Amino acid sequence: MDVHVTSSTVGGSARAPPSKSYTHRAILAAGYSDGATVRSPLVSADTRATARAVTAFGGQVERDDGADTFEVAGFGGRPTVPDDVIDCENSGTTMRLVTGTAALGDGGTVLTGDGSLRSRPQGPLLDALGDLGVRAESTRGNGQAPLVVFGPLSGGEVAIPGDVSSQYVTSLLMAGAVTEEGIDVELTTELKSAPYVDITLELLADFGVEATPMGSETAEGARGFSVPGDQRYEPTGGSYAVPGDFSSISYLVAAGAVAGEGDAGVRIEGARPSAQGDSAIVEIAERMGASIEWNRDDGVIAVERAPLSGVEVDVGDTPDLLPTIATLGAIADGETRIVNCEHVRYKETDRVSAMAEELGKLGAETTEEPDVLTVHGDESDLVGATVDGRGDHRIVMSLSIAGLVAEGTTTIRGGEHVDVSFPGFFSTLTDLGATVETDA
């Protein structure tokens, strides 16, 4: 689907979609339980993939549209061996989290996905499971899906690098809680994207599961993590409510910062504080000069257009913000340096190169290094053009925000991929006053 965004101003209220990160973890945690209700979940292509995996392992996930819930009949910490291959489609989170689940089964599980997912690294998690006594292999021997996993996993001690994906740690912690021995995870390198492990620890606690960082009170600076075995997943009152998603909020913040006008610019509801590292977008936009206020008690962010200036941002813990920050940098005066970003190359696409190349089609000047993306705002003059979303929801949404400012009309190819995390993104932009047209 092609989407055409014409230079526009925006204003009014919008509600943040529920968190994709929390929804994935909540559906799987409910699967590990005897049964639970997940309230206000994000219903998207990725989270449906996790729901199908839970069903494949012997649970059942039913959507109640009227109540805005997933009703999950869990498999009680003992997944059955799936009858068929589990297709995770484009969801890397699904594949990594349920690889740990597959290791608990008394038999073999095959996991695959689309072409993009089959190119993403899974080797460190496979190696860790192998060290724990599980047969875990890449069918092509390259550390990428399709994967074959033979359990059962009983627990133990294992070492794993922390600089490829924090999701490996999450997978081991979630599965380790229901093993006989529990799992102690030692990090052999610095942990990137540490706030995502904090999300996991927070959610596990809400499901009654104990898991702790070692050497630190939070994931940041931890030398490892420990989860005792023989635990039960039991959320208080039998239900769990998903908070708003700050990765998705970042596009609404950016829209307000570059095009927000009216009484209060763009007003974003559902932005309550949580362990999400991507809430850093508020501070980043403020540093760049945006007129922004966050009422944390009410969960409301108000942001208006203002002159922006380039800054340096370290995305070691917030990789999903790189496309948003790059877009803001292309509109700001001066240089925006996005550092510590090599791991952002291993997402749905190489997001560093993707943003450099696609913003370049609109007239942005960038310099790309292995671990740094510099956007030269002073040398950039955005003009509408046809750009490729690269099959990546975050690239599509970020380029759409650039389209609000670029002279004329910007056409983004692959607009349907926003369904991965923000299915109502384009209708939200339209409701805020943007000129958006779509081709089926």
- Give the three-class secondary structure for 17: coil
Amino acid identity, position 397: M
Q: Tell whether residue 92 is among the known ligand binding residues.
A: yes
Q: Catalytic one among 317, 320, 392, 419?
A: 320
How would you write 344-390 as a 3-class SS string?
HHHCCCCHHHHHHHHHHHCCCEEEEECCEEEEEHHHCCCECCEEECC
Dump the DSSP string for 119-150: GS--HHHHHHHHHTT-EEEETTSSS-SSEEEE
Q: Tell whether residue 287 is among the known ligand binding residues.
A: no
Max CA separation in the chain (angstroms): 61
d(CA 20, CA 242): 9
For residue 123, count CB atoms less than 10 angstroms from its CB and return exposed for 0-12, middle for 13-18, buried for 19 or more. middle
* Contact by Cβ (8 Å): 405, 259: yes
Whether the bond into 121 is cis, omega within 30 of 0: no
d(CA 1, CA 396): 11
d(CA 245, CA 207): 20
Q: Tell whether residue 223 is among the known ligand binding residues.
A: no
Amino acid identity, position 239: S
Q: Tell whether residue 193 is among the known ligand binding residues.
A: yes
Q: Tell whether residue 351 is among the known ligand binding residues.
A: yes
What does each C-alpha distance from 97 to 285, 328, 435 come to in angstroms?
32, 32, 39
333 phi/psi in degrees, rounded to 5: -80, 145
Q: Tell whether residue 320 is among the known ligand binding residues.
A: yes
Q: Tell whether residue 345 is among the known ligand binding residues.
A: no
Beta-carbon count within 10 A of 327 CB: 33
Q: Tell whether residue 167 is among the known ligand binding residues.
A: yes
320 is catalytic: yes
Q: Tell whether residue 20 is among the known ligand binding residues.
A: yes
Beta-carbon count within 10 A of 273 CB: 12
Q: Tell whether residue 398 is among the known ligand binding residues.
A: no
For residue 186, count CB atoms less than 10 angstroms from its CB and return exposed for 0-12, middle for 13-18, buried for 19 or more. middle
Q: Tell whether residue 192 is among the known ligand binding residues.
A: no
Q: Extract the annotated binding site for 3-phosphoshikimate.
A: 20-21, 25, 165-167, 193, 320, 347
Q: Extract the annotated binding site for phosphoenolpyruvate.
A: 20, 92, 120, 167, 351, 394
Q: Which residues are catalytic?
A: 320
